[in-house]
Amino acid sequence: MARAGDEGAFRRLVEPHRRELHAHCYRMLGSVDDAEDALQEAHLNAWRGLPRFAGRSSLRSWLYRITTNACLDLIARRPKRVLPIDYGPPSDPHPGPYAPIVESAWVEPYPDEAFDPGDRLLGPEARFEQRESLELAFVAALQHLPAQQRAVLILREVLGFSAKEVAETLESTVTAVNSALQRARKTVDERLPDESQQATLRSLGNDRIRDLVESYMRAWEEGDVNALVAMLTDDATITMPPCPTWFQGRDAVGRFLTVFVFARGGRRVRLVPTRANAQPAFGTYRSEPESGVYEPVSLHVLTMRRQGIQEINTFVDPAAFRRFGLPERLF
């Protein structure tokens, strides 16, 4: 029926694959909005191409081929996305953050609720866990790869497709795919920490993570900079895209928080916990003294290490709250 032009039948055919394809687009593009654009384009191309689908591969493989090429087309038209730590060196905290740079594209956080790894069996070539492949560090590292290398690494080592399947997807050769994979591995491995966030979280355990989350929320809401700083690793960083500024080290982060975040009296802060990129995250809200309404400010995504919090990535984008199902405001 889908081949005959039944749109309902087509939707039922592709819907079971939508969430994993959306996550694939996010890995390729580093942006939820761009992922939506690429997936819409892929679905349109699949709808148009379905009558010509001969069934020589599985429907899932065919959809990944179309979706990957939609991402490659989008990459060619849009700037590379980065995190502030890839944009420039850490700043002196005394002057405070620089103005936002809106013409640059920044890696965006990804809501955990948008992705369900389920029990899908991956191919034998998969090297990364599904949740590992959504971590901020991994997605940011992918953006430094040329588009073809990015596609090869994701298809081979995240999704476990064979070199032959990837070559067919990219209209390339097995030799070229294996060469691209070797180069991509080197670049990504150089940018990734020794331990994935998922391995760190497992080592900390649920009770320790819950304590850290509660302590983090309490410190922010009480404006307790000393408590926040005590939770950080020695080399901790704080970023705030779309501002390019970022600070590194306990002292620098502490000074920034003291002078530029908590200096104004009467401003109250509340946090709502969520999950982003398979990492602990929070929607932060702020209220002025004369108002009882808390407005959304930024989304915090934490990167943990066994010694404490290593990264506080604060995405200053109230529009992101809708993607995460967070309240528009608090009262």
- The string of pLDDT tens digits covering residues 14-65 is 999 999 999 999 999 999 999 999 999 999 999 999 888 877 789 999 999 9
Provide φ and ψ at 268, rounded to 5°: -100, 150
Give the chain's mean pLDDT. Answer: 93
**Is pLDDT at 161 greater than 80 in this prediction?**
yes
Task: Report the pLDDT value the prediction gives residue 284, as an integer from 0 to 100.
Answer: 97
Q: Are 69 and 49 in contact (CB under 8 A)?
A: no
Interval 192-204 mean pLDDT: 97
* β 295-305/279-287 pair status: antiparallel
Domain 1-78, CATH? 1.10.1740.10
Token pair in block for residue 11: 């939707």
What pLDDT score was predicted for residue 102? 74
Is residue 314 very low, low, confident or very high in pLDDT (cuts 50, 70, 90)?
very high
Cis upstream peptide for 273 (omega within 30°):
no
Task: Kindly report each contact of residues 175-178 with a partner whose C-beta sits within 8 Å and lies 24 or more positions away, as own/partner.
Answer: 177/152
Confidence of residue 124 (pLDDT cuts 50, 70, 90): confident
Q: Of 76, 79, 74, nearest to 25 (Cα)?
A: 74
pLDDT surpasses 80 at 2: no
The predicted structure's pLDDT at residue 292:
85
**Helix/strand/coil for 214:** helix
Q: Residues of 281-292 as b/e, b for ≥16 C-beta within 10 angstroms?
A: bbbbbbbeeeee
Which pLDDT score is estimated for 297? 96
What pLDDT, on the 0 to 100 scale, is given for residue 1?
60
Under the banding of pLDDT at 50, 70 and 90, the label for residue 120 is low
Contact 271, 282 (CB under 8 A): yes
Q: Would you call 97 helix, strand, or coil by DSSP?
A: coil
Distances (CA, A) of 167 to 58, 162, 172: 16, 9, 5
Q: Are strands 295-305 and 105-106 parallel, antiparallel or unpaired?
A: unpaired
Residue 118 confidence class, pLDDT cut points 50, 70, 90: low
CB 70 within 8 A of CB 94: no
The answer on pLDDT for 309 being more than 90 is: yes
Of all residues in the chain, what percent carry a pLDDT higher than 90?
80
Q: Which pLDDT score, from 0 to 100, does residue 4 have?
A: 56
Rounded mean pLDDT, 162-168: 96
Assess whether pLDDT exceeds 60 at residue 121.
Answer: no
Check pLDDT > 80 for residue 260: yes
Alpha-carbon radius of gyration of the chain = 21
Is there a common fold for 1-78 and 197-323? no
Domain range summary for the chain, segments of one domain joined by +? 1-78, 197-323
Predicted pLDDT at 271: 98
Q: How confident is the model at residue 152, as a pLDDT?
A: 98
Distance CA 52, CA 71 (A): 21
Strands (E), the chain: 81-82, 105-106, 232-240, 243-248, 268-276, 279-287, 295-305, 308-315
Task: Give residue for tokens 């850290």.
Answer: 212
Angle, alpha carbons 250-255-259 (nearest 5°) = 155
What CATH code is assigned to 197-323?
Answer: 3.10.450.50
Q: Is 220 left (phi over 0), alpha (psi -120 to 50) or beta?
A: alpha
pLDDT band at 308 (very low <50, low <70, confident <90, very high): very high
Task: Give 6's contacts (C-beta < 8 A, 6+ positions apart).
Answer: none
Confidence of residue 287 (pLDDT cuts 50, 70, 90): very high
Q: Given this model, what pLDDT does residue 5 score?
A: 64
Structure-model confidence comparison of residues 267 and 120, the more confident one: 267
pTM of the model: 0.94
What is each CA distance from 253 to 64, 90, 162, 269, in whole angstroms? 42, 11, 45, 18
Closest residue by Cα to residue 61 from 169, 174, 175, 181 = 169
Task: Label residue 52 exposed, middle or buried (CB < 10 Å: 0-12, 13-18, 19+).
Answer: exposed
Q: What is the pLDDT of residue 64?
A: 97
